[in-house]
């Protein structure tokens, strides 16, 4: 049975966030038996001046804006190759460099944010400008090396700043039911590219590519900057006052409508304490999550990069090729929202294992569909591949604060997400080499095997510091024996 201590804070004090609303709002800190602190008493409207739901919708819109950089790139690469005289390998390496820096900026950006050097708002502003530079470089620089720097490095850094800020923002404002909210926001990063996928397949050629890319860059700049104006983090340890903390004296009576929050907390108990990045690394769970991201994201990026080309290779028409990528993009995004909601009901780890297994099996299904030349089977497995290839991202994004807490989440999730650094290399650039050496069948079979290996890694995850019930441990051993 956990114990708690309560301490009344100065009602007129400031918590260091710099907001006038904080000085007017009273709060108290509730500490459970393990030392976890919950700051309760302040409502979202007192802190923001409006409902925290805005911290879901605005990050979602910003994520849709930047999705064109990754999820529509494969549909644009043929035109870019003809316009600039690049080889297919050149275009895929540009995307690989973009992925490398998009993922790589997450950790340093989180480190700067948690030390007050970079606010959420200014991270978004900076990211939007860098994205504009990236699209301009892709439009006007014919040298592969300069395109790698302009779109790959600069554009990747910009998208990464926006992505990491949006994901961390929603997780901080919804600590009691973050699965569905994070999944919804993360989904925008995929299906937001749908209009551009069809644009690049039907109305993007060597006569207008530069103007189109310039306009897309301006679109990203305007949308992201407009959303950024309202961005603000909650105070450290903040907990919504109308939801009783999971361990400790309730800060209020939860209304009937928040039974979903109680159910989610039962399946996904909060971290036993706030882990610093060093402590999270020493727990062994953060490195295991990183490895799982490396393997799973590599398979996802491979599918994004080669789906359209494989469809053309096996003789499917441009409509099927574009539709398969469109299906992948939409399901990739919608799947993120669905599994976020399911993870609140089933538990993060269980949902994550199911998603990664589906991703692996879908790779073998794509091979089958291509070999029998079945368009509807190809679209079906593109559906499954899109679902699995995107749904794991919000699960890792929510599993990280579930395991290590919210106060250092920008840095901890930055470390986990940095696994995509490696994924971008073997999913895109090295993936093209495997296709050249083994053909599409061999490459897709390898991707399927890697995904199943990643599912095995996720089975080893457990929440640091929380003792598992003996019955649960016995059940896991029984399942293991049955599988053997």
Among all chains, which residue has been given the structure tokens 């200014």? Answer: 122
The residue extents of the domains of the chain are 1-51, 54-235+277-464
Q: Give the model's confidence band at 44: pLDDT under 50 very low, under 70 low, under 90 confident, else very high.
A: confident
pLDDT of residue 292: 95
305: helix, strand or coil: helix
Q: Which residue has the higher pLDDT, 331 or 223?
A: 223
Q: Are 284 and 416 in contact (CB under 8 A)?
A: no
CA distances from 430 to 255, 321, 436 (A): 53, 22, 10
Q: Are 146 and 388 in contact (CB under 8 A)?
A: no
Q: Are 4 and 242 in contact (CB under 8 A)?
A: no
Judged by average pLDDT, the poorest of 118-122, 292-296, 306-310, 476-480 is: 476-480
Q: What is the pLDDT of residues 445-467, one digit of tens each?
A: 999 999 999 999 999 999 998 76
In angstroms, rounded to a whole number, what is the distance separating the alpha carbons of residues 211 and 208? 6
Q: Which residue has the higher pLDDT, 482 or 64?
A: 64
Per-residue pLDDT, averaged over 137-145, amounts to: 90
Structure tokens at 178: 């973050």
Neighbours of 458 (CB within 10 A): 26
Residue 482 has pLDDT above 70, yes or no: no
Structure tokens at 210: 């530069």
In angstroms, rounded to a whole number, what is the distance separating the alpha carbons of residues 450 and 311? 22
pLDDT of residue 84: 87
Q: Are 176 and 265 in contact (CB under 8 A)?
A: yes
pLDDT of residue 324: 67
Q: Are 326 and 199 in contact (CB under 8 A)?
A: no
In angstroms, rounded to a whole number, what is the distance separating the alpha carbons of residues 141 and 45? 47
Superfamily of structural domain 54-235+277-464: MFS general substrate transporter like domains (1.20.1250.20)
Tell me the HSE value of 353 on the side-chain side, using a 13 A CA sphere: 11
Distance of CA 199 to the CA centre of its chain: 25
pTM to 2 decimal places: 0.74
6: helix, strand or coil: strand
Contacts of 471 (CB under 8 A, 6+ apart): none
Q: Are 223 and 61 in contact (CB under 8 A)?
A: yes
In angstroms, rounded to a whole number, what is the distance separating the alpha carbons of residues 267 and 282? 25
Q: What residues pair up with 40 in beta bridges, in sequence order?
A: 28
Residue count of the chain: 484
Q: What is the pLDDT of residues 333-386, one digit of tens each?
A: 788 888 888 888 888 999 999 999 999 999 999 899 888 888 888 888 888 887
Give DSSP secondary structure letters for 56-100.
HHHHHHHHHHHTHHHHTHHHHHHHHHHHHT--HHHHHHHHHHHHH
Residue 249 has pLDDT above 70, yes or no: no
Q: Which residue has the higher pLDDT, 255 or 51?
A: 51
Give backbone dihedrals phi and psi of 407, rounded to 5 degrees, phi first.
-65, -30
pLDDT of residue 10: 38
Structure tokens at 19: 């907001």
pLDDT of residue 318: 64
DSSP 283: T
Per-residue pLDDT, averaged over 196-210, amounts to: 81
Judged by average pLDDT, the poorest of 17-21, 53-57, 385-389 is: 17-21
Q: What is the pLDDT of residues 301-313, one digit of tens each?
A: 887 777 777 877 8
Q: Which residue has the higher pLDDT, 316 or 328?
A: 316
Taken in order 386, 392, 398, 400, is the CA torsion positive or negative? negative
Percent of the chain predicted with pLDDT > 90: 32
The per-residue pLDDT of the chain, averaged, comes to 81
In angstroms, rounded to a whole number, what is the distance separating the alpha carbons of residues 480 and 467? 20
Q: Are 136 and 450 in contact (CB under 8 A)?
A: no
Work out the burial of residue 473: count CB atoms within 10 Å of its CB; fewer than 13 is exposed, 13-18 middle, 19 or more buried: exposed
Alpha-helical regions (H) of 406-469: 409-417, 419-424, 430-458
In angstroms, rounded to a whole number, what is the distance separating the alpha carbons of residues 308 and 81? 15
Q: What is the pLDDT of residues 94-140, one digit of tens each?
A: 888 898 899 889 889 888 988 888 899 999 999 999 999 999 999 99
Q: Which residue has the higher pLDDT, 257 or 407?
A: 407
Residue 15 has pLDDT above 70, yes or no: no
Farthest-apart Cα atoms in the chain, separation:
71
Q: Give the model's confidence band at 258: pLDDT under 50 very low, under 70 low, under 90 confident, else very high.
A: low
């Amino acid at each position: 049975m956990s114990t708690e201590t309560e301490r009344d804070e100065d009602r007129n004090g400031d918590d260091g966030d710099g907001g006038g609303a904080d000085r007017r709002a009273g709060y108290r800190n509730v500490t459970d038996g393990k030392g976890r602190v919950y700051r309760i008493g302040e409502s979202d409207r007192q802190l923001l001046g409006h409902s925290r739901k805005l911290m879901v919708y605005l990050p979602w819109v910003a994520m849709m804006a930047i999705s064109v950089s990754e999820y529509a790139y494969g549909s644009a690469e043929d035109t870019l190759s003809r316009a600039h005289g690049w080889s297919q390998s050149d275009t895929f390496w540009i995307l690989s460099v973009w992925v490398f820096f998009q993922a790589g900026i997450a950790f340093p950006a989180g480190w700067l944010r948690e030390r007050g050097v970079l606010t959420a708002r200014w991270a978004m502003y900076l990211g939007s400008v860098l994205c504009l530079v990236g699209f301009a470089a892709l439009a006007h620089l014919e040298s592969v090396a300069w395109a790698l720097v302009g779109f790959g490095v600069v554009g990747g850094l910009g998208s990464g700043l926006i992505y990491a800020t949006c994901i961390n923002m929603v997780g901080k404002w919804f600590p009691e039911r973050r699965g569905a909210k994070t999944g919804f926001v993360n989904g925008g990063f995929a299906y937001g590219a749908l209009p551009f996928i069809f644009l690049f397949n039907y109305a993007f050629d060597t006569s207008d590519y530069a103007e189109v890319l310039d306009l897309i860059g301006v679109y990203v700049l305007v949308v992201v900057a407009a959303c950024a104006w309202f961005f603000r983090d909650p105070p450290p340890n903040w907990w919504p006052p109308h939801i009783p903390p999971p361990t400790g004296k309730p800060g209020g009576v939860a209304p009937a409508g928040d039974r979903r929050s109680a159910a989610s907390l039962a399946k996904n108990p909060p971290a036993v304490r706030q882990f610093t990045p060093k402590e999270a690394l020493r727990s062994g769970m953060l490195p295991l999550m990183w490895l799982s991201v490396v393997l799973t994201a590599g398979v996802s990026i491979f599918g994004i990069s080669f789906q359209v080309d494989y469809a053309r290779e096996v003789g499917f028409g441009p409509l099927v090729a574009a539709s398969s990528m469109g299906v992948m993009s939409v399901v990739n995004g919608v799947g993120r929202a669905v599994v976020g909601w399911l993870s609140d009901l089933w538990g993060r780890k269980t949902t994550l294992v199911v998603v990664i297994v589906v991703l692996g099996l879908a790779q073998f299904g794509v091979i089958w569909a291509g070999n029998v030349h079945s368009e509807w089977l190809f679209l079906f497995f593109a559906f499954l591949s899109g679902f699995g290839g995107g749904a794991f991202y919000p699960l890792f994004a929510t599993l990280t604060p579930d395991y290590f807490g919210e106060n250092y989440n920008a840095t901890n999730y930055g470390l986990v997400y940095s696994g995509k650094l490696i994924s971008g290399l073997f999913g895109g650039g090295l993936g093209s080499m495997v296709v050249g050496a083994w053909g599409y069948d061999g490459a897709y079979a390898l991707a399927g095997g890697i995904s199943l290996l990643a599912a095995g890694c996720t089975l080893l995850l457990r929440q640091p510091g929380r003792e598992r019930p003996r019955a649960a441990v016995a059940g896991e051993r029984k399942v293991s024996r049955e599988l053997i």
